[in-house]
Every structure is written in C-alpha cells, then in structure tokens.
C-alpha cells in the first residue's frame, strides 16, 4: 500500500528516469535555432570538430547535446523528418547502454541515428544489428543518408560478401548487418591464421533492433560452422519408413515441454521392426554398439510428433527450411543439429544433406556479451526486463508515445470449437470490409494463415498476386469509387519477397492482410496507403521534373482522401448486433489465436494505433486452440462443468 502511494506521489522508477532526460532535451531544443542557421558544409564541419574533441579527451556525454541537435537537423534536411522529443529520449537510453521500449510507429529506426552518430565520433565503430538482410540494406541506405551528409562512412554486412568486402564494411564508422552475419564473421575470424585476414576490427558498441527477439528468443541458439561427416542418408530413410507403423500407445508425447519418448511397448515394437528391416543386426536396441541407431530412432520420432510442416518448417526447392516461430520468417542456412534436420528431410522425402561436425560455435548470448557497450530497441521488452537485467545488465526504459494511443483493445472472444471461431472471424472480416476498414489478421503459423485464406476464397474473396506489378490497381480504383473488392493478401514465409510492399499497403481502405506473426517487419502500416511505396511502384518510369512532381502531388492527395475514409470506417452502435457503443476506425487487428509469448500478441496489436491514429484489436479464441488444449483445457472444462451445473440448478429453481 505504501509503495502504491509513493508511486502516485513520486512516479515509478521508469517515470523518474524519463523525467531525468527532460533537461537535456530542453538544451537540444534551445540549440535548434542556432543549428538550423548553419549551412550544410558548416554542419559537417561541426560534426568533425566534435569528433576531434572526443579524440582529444572529451567524453561522449560532454558532446551529447550538440551532437543530437546536429543529427536532428541533418534528418530534417535529408529525410524531411524531425526527431520528436521522445525520440531524443530514446537516443539517450541507447547511448546509456539501455533498452528503449517504444511502441510500433514511434520511429525506432530514426531514434538509433542519434546514439549511432554520437558513438561513431569515437572512431571505434558502431554496429547496428537487424533481423534480416532486407532491413540491414534498407536502413543502411535510408539512415545512411544522414551519416554521409555529416561526413561519416557507412557499411553493410549481408549474405554473399567476400572477405575484402566485409573488411571494408567493418572499417566504416557505422556498420549495418544481421545478427547471423556478425556472429558468423566472428567465428570465421577465429579460424583465421593471420590477424590481417580477419574482417572484424573489434566489438565497441552495438545497437540491436528487435532486441527481445535476438537477445532473449534466440539467445541460446548456437551459430555453428561445421564440416561434413560420413553420409548416412540410407539409414535415415530406413528408420523413417518405420515411423508410420507407430501408434499413440507406442510413445509418450508432452506437447507442453516438447518432449517425446518411446513407451515400453514402443521399445519392443521398434526393436522388432528394426530387426525385420535388417537395421538392428545384433544385440538389443539399447546395447552400447547400437547407440547410433537409437539416436536415429529418437530424432525420427521427434520429427514425426513434435514438428509440423508449414508451422515449424516449410519445404522449398527440395530443402527443409526452418521457420522462426517468433517472426514467421524463413531461416535460410539454419539447420537443426544432431541429425534432427536429416530426420525431417527423410520425413518430407527431400534430398538428405550430409551430417556435419562442429568446427566453431557460439551462442548469440555469448557473442553479444563481447561488446564493450550494448543497447537495444523494441516495441515489447518490459515483459523480459528481468532477463535483460540479469543476463546482459541492460535496463529497459519505456519511452512515452509522441501522441496518446487511441487504439481500443477489446476483450477476447472465446468459442467452443475452432470451426465456430473461424466462422466468426470470416463474418467479422466481411463486416469490416463492407465498411472499407482495413483489417490485419494475425495467425501463429503458415498453415493457419493459408487456412484463413482458403476460407475467404470459399466466401468469394480472391488472393492478390503481388508478383504482378498491377496487383493493387483494382484495390486503389475501388477505394476511389467507394466499392469493395473482396481481395486479400497473405504475408508468410512463402511470400517474404513481397513483404515490405504487402505491409506498406495494408492500410488502404478495405485492405485485408493475413500475416504470420509481425515481429520486426520494419515497415509501418500507414492509414490510406504508403506514399513512398506508391511512388516507387507507380512513378519509376517518370524522370524528375514537373510531370513527376504533379503525379506525386496527385498520389499524396489520394492517400490523404483514403486516410479520411479509413478514419471514418469504424463500426457504429447497433442494438440488433448487441454493439452498445461506437468503435473506432483505423486499422482493425484480428488475432486468430493467442501465442504462448504475450509479447508476440502485443507486437501484433501494436501494428494499429500508430502515432495517435485510431485503431481496434480483438482476439478470437476457441477451447480447441493449441494453447488452450495444451495449457488450459482441463481447467477450462472444469470451469464450464461448474457453470453448466449452476445454470441447470438456476433453471430448476434449486
């Protein structure tokens, strides 16, 4: 009680820390008129002068205020975007080696530029870590305009570069790349015989985007450089052929812990089957000389009972490709170890790649602890604040939004069966589409996203083909004519090539987008549509000049008009449907299931209501959902039984 009273009087620890940044924000704002009066060349000279001061012994803290003021001015000139005060606070958190938790749409990518430039003044290099090659290249080019404007050098580390190209990128003041590329370069450097052959020059300061995904979800994921061993593909195929003969009585499956093992009956059955197949040639299954066969059986059993096609992995180009459960992206080049990947390849009847022996390995957790200074950004870190503090000594600071959040998060709607839930979701999408309200439907797997797509097709909808450059022509025309198109898009690992385009246009009136998880997409959903994306797609053929400028202005006016339609697309109160109050327009987030990680649900919700926009979110659940079935079915059944008895007693008047 005393704690709650103190919190009301003095604010939380987070409130006090945020308030502590205000004096420096005010100093930066007071400098703005002076910095704005400088020419482009004078801005560069100021930056180089600050770099010289740091080299002469000044601390980075001493030059924070003028550096942030210069970066803000540079962003205004080259990007047309001025850092908000809350973004300045986020930059200070990053500089202080903290984690800035900022809601989706608050401009985390631009926030990083403040701490990046400040720390680049030391000349020791700054690494900005993203979750995929696309974001690394995009951000290096996009934010690189600020850095180059100020006289700093920028490099990018992506898949396919040779050692000389990597060495050149690491020598830059600022280097963008993915967690995988940074980690593998470190391993490769440790296998070099000469210092001059190494590519990385040290680990001074890193800013990790989607920090919870990389430092928590994937923390213990090992990066492994390996070499081939003997080919055992025939043994994998022979053992896999026996799996179809197993019945549930032959194994104990624990979905909650993701473990499986043969029962006594299963051991007897498998031992006999292995003998009949000529695999077990002598002794019992668990004799020491048969340990290899036991390992193959174990991994084949795991592949068939714990791993699901289109949820945990997909088959593409004769390969089994792992799907990241947190982002829904393909993890190209990543393979399960200890024969599990080969067992999956045997299960899916694709070419079985040789097993490998480990030559070098490190986990992300251990790699990122090499940095002298580490910071991170995300929209959802508070739920893992204790882990960040304990493992990395990083404090999470929640940065307030630039504008109050106007999104309405409705209570979950729970149905008895999955079919009833899906029927309700389709009806809800129908109603929103009729109102021209854009809908983002979040699913937990590729399988579920494609199931929703199939249901929509049965209800008269058509899947958009984003490989067609004119895919959205009718969607835009329908928005102009105030009619519905009954078209939808699917964003999952199968369609990752069109990811940025699909996400960017998910705010067009009447747009329906089905997405598998939404972590680290890197592109905001803007109500009415994305001007930059439409210019890139529709006006690429026009040379700079009056005609192009007029076309851009026409697009800008159309998007503004579409935005107004989306803002006014909310559901009105209706006694017939039981809706007692008006619900807002804006992007409507529909969750088709709850995820085991509350953070992933929050990431989905956070796609709506950006920068003070209205929005709405609701999760549709059923008692047959995986999460309900695994974690709460017994408890739920007991509650429903009690409720049923209570209702029966009330009817009988007892």
Residues 157 and 166: beta-carbon distance below 8 Å: yes
Q: Considering the domain boundaries, does residue 382 fall inside one?
A: yes
Which tens digits make up the pLDDT trace of 336-391? Answer: 888 899 999 999 999 998 877 778 899 999 999 999 999 999 887 777 888 899 99
Give the pairing type, strands 174-178 and 126-130: parallel
Q: 10 Å Cβ neighbour count for 121?
A: 22
* CATH code where residue 308 lies: 3.90.1440.10
Per the structure, the count of domains in the chain is 3
- DSSP one-letter string for 283-338: S-TTSGGGHHHHHHHHHHHHHHHT--BTTTEEEETTEEEEBPTTT--B-TT---ST
Whether residues 191 and 79 fall in one domain: yes
416 phi and psi angles, rounded to 5 deg: -70, -45
Q: Compute the half-sphere exposure of residue 296: CA atoms within 13 Å on the CB side of its CA.
A: 26
Determine the Cα–Cα distance for residues 249 and 264; give it in Å rounded to an integer: 9
Q: pLDDT value at position 417?
A: 92
- Collapse the DSSP code of 400 into the 3-class scheme (helix H, G, I; strand E, B; otherwise coil) and give the result: coil
Q: pLDDT value at position 654?
A: 46
Give the pairing type, strands 205-209 and 356-363: unpaired
Whether residues 210 and 110 fall in one domain: yes
The pLDDT of 427-443, averaged and rounded, is: 94
* CATH code where residue 375 lies: 3.40.50.300
Domain coverage including residue 142:
15-224+364-398
Query: Measured on CA atoms in the order 145, 147, 150, 153, is the torsion positive or negative?
Result: negative
Query: Measured on CA atoms in the order 125, 524, 601, 520, is the torsion positive or negative?
Result: negative
Determine the Cα–Cα distance for residues 559 and 531; give it in Å rounded to an integer: 7
To the nearest whole percent, how much of the chain has pLDDT over 70? 90
Q: Between 312 and 114, name the one with better pLDDT.
A: 114
Q: Give the position of tokens 């803002």.
A: 567
Q: pLDDT value at position 67?
A: 97
Report residue 269's pLDDT band, with 50, 70 and 90 as the boundaries.
very high
Whether residues 56 and 205 fall in one domain: yes
Query: Which of 12-26, 234-248, 250-264, 493-507 is least confident?
Result: 493-507
Q: Considering the domain boundaries, does residue 385 fall inside one?
A: yes
Whether residues 449 and 579 fall in one domain: yes
pTM of the model: 0.73
pLDDT higher than 50, residue 289: yes
Q: pLDDT value at position 183?
A: 95
Whether residues 453 and 581 fall in one domain: yes
Whether residues 325 and 376 fall in one domain: no
Q: Considering the domain boundaries, does residue 346 fall inside one?
A: yes
Determine the Cα–Cα distance for residues 274 and 210; give it in Å rounded to an integer: 47
Mean pLDDT taken over the chain: 87
Which tens digits make up the pLDDT trace of 91-150? Answer: 999 999 999 998 877 889 999 999 999 999 999 999 999 988 888 998 999 999 999 999
Q: Considering the domain boundaries, does residue 386 fall inside one?
A: yes
Whether residues 171 and 67 fall in one domain: yes
Q: Considering the domain boundaries, does residue 633 fall inside one?
A: no
Cβ contacts of 472 within 8 Å, gap of 6 or more: 464, 505, 508
Whether residues 216 and 137 fall in one domain: yes
Q: Between 357 and 82, name the one with better pLDDT.
A: 82
The pLDDT of 263-289, averaged and rounded, is: 89
Determine the Cα–Cα distance for residues 264 and 270; give it in Å rounded to an integer: 10
Report residue 285's pLDDT band, with 50, 70 and 90 as the boundaries.
confident
Whether residues 424 and 519 fall in one domain: yes
CA angle 253, 254, 256 (to 5 degrees): 150
To the nearest whole percent, how much of the chain has pLDDT over 90? 55
Whether residues 378 and 435 fall in one domain: no
Whether residues 343 and 446 fall in one domain: no
Q: Considering the domain boundaries, does residue 644 fall inside one?
A: no
Determine the Cα–Cα distance for residues 210 and 521; give it in Å rounded to an integer: 10
Q: Considering the domain boundaries, does residue 180 fall inside one?
A: yes
Whether residues 216 and 144 fall in one domain: yes
Record the tokens describing residue 74, joined without a space: 């540079």
Q: Considering the domain boundaries, does residue 634 fall inside one?
A: no
Q: Give the position of tokens 């081939």.
A: 228
């Amino acid at each position: 009680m005393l704690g709650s009273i103190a919190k009301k009087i003095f604010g939380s620890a987070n409130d006090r820390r945020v308030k502590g940044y205000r004096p420096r924000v005010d100093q930066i704002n007071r400098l703005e008129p002076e910095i704005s009066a400088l020419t482009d060349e004078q801005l560069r000279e100021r930056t180089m002068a600050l770099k010289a001061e740091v080299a002469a012994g000044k601390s980075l803290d001493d030059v924070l205020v003028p550096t942030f003021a210069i970066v803000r001015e540079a962003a205004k000139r080259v990007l047309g975007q001025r850092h908000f005060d809350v973004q300045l606070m986020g930059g200070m958190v990053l500089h202080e080696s903290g984690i800035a938790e900022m809601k989706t749409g608050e401009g985390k990518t631009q926030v990083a530029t403040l701490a990046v430039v400040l720390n680049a003044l030391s000349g020791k290099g700054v690494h900005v870590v993203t979750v995929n090659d696309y974001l690394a290249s995009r951000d290096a080019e996009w934010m690189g305009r600020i850095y180059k404007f100020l006289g700093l050098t920028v490099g990018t580390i992506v898949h396919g570069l040779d050692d000389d190209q990597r060495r050149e990128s690491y020598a830059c003041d600022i280097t963008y790349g993915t967690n995988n590329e940074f980690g593998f370069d470190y391993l490769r450097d440790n296998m070099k015989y000469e210092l001059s052959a190494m590519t990385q020059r040290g680990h001074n300061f890193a800013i990790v985007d989607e920090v919870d995904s990389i430092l928590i979800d994937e923390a213990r994921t090992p990066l492994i450089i390996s070499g081939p061993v003997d080919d055992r593909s025939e043994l994998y195929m022979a053992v896999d052929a026996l799996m179809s003969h197993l019945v549930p009585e032959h194994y104990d499956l624990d979905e909650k812990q993701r473990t499986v093992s043969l029962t006594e009956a299963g051991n007897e059955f498998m031992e006999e089957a292995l003998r009949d197949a000529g695999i077990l040639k002598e002794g019992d299954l668990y004799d020491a000389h048969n340990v290899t066969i036991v390992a193959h059986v174990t991994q084949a059993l795991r592949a068939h009972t714990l791993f699901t096609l289109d949820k945990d992995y997909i088959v593409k180009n004769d390969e089994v490709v792992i799907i990241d459960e947190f982002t829904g992206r393909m993890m190209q080049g990543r393979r399960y170890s200890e024969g599990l990947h080969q067992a999956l390849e045997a299960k899916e009847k694709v070419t079985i790649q040789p097993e490998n022996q480990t030559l070098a390995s490190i986990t992300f957790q251990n790699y990122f602890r090499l940095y002298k200074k580490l910071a991170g950004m995300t929209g959802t870190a508070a739920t893992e604040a204790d882990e960040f503090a304990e493992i990395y000594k990083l404090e999470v600071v929640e940065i307030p939004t630039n504008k109050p959040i106007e999104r309405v998060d409705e209570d979950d709607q729970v149905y008895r069966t999955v079919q009833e839930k899906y029927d309700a979701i389709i009806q809800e999408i129908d109603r929103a589409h009729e109102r021209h309200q854009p809908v983002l439907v979040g699913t937990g797997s590729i399988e579920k996203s494609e199931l929703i797509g199939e249901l929509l097709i049965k209800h008269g909808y058509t899947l958009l083909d984003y490989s067609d450059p004119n895919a959205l022509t009718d969607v835009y025309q329908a928005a102009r004519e105030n009619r519905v198109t009954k078209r939808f898009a699917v964003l999952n690992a199968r369609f990752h090539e069109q990811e940025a385009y699909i996400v960017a246009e998910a705010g067009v009136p009447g747009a329906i987008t089905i997405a598998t998880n939404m972590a680290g997409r890197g592109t905001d959903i803007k109500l009415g549509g994305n001007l930059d994306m439409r210019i890139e797609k529709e006006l690429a053929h026009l040379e700079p000049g009056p005609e192009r400028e007029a076309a851009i202005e026409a697009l800008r006016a159309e998007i503004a008009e579409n935005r107004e339609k989306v803002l006014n697309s909310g559901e009105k109160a209706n006694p017939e449907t039981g809706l007692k109050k008006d619900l807002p327009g804006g992007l409507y987030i529909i969750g088709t299931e709850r995820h085991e990680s509350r953070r992933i649900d929050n990431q989905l919700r956070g796609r709506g209501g950006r920068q003070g926009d209205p929005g709405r979110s609701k999760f549709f659940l059923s008692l047959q959902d995986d999460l309900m079935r695994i974690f709460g079915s017994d408890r739920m059944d007991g509650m429903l039984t009690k409720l049923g008895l209570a209702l029966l007693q009330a009817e009988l008047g007892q």
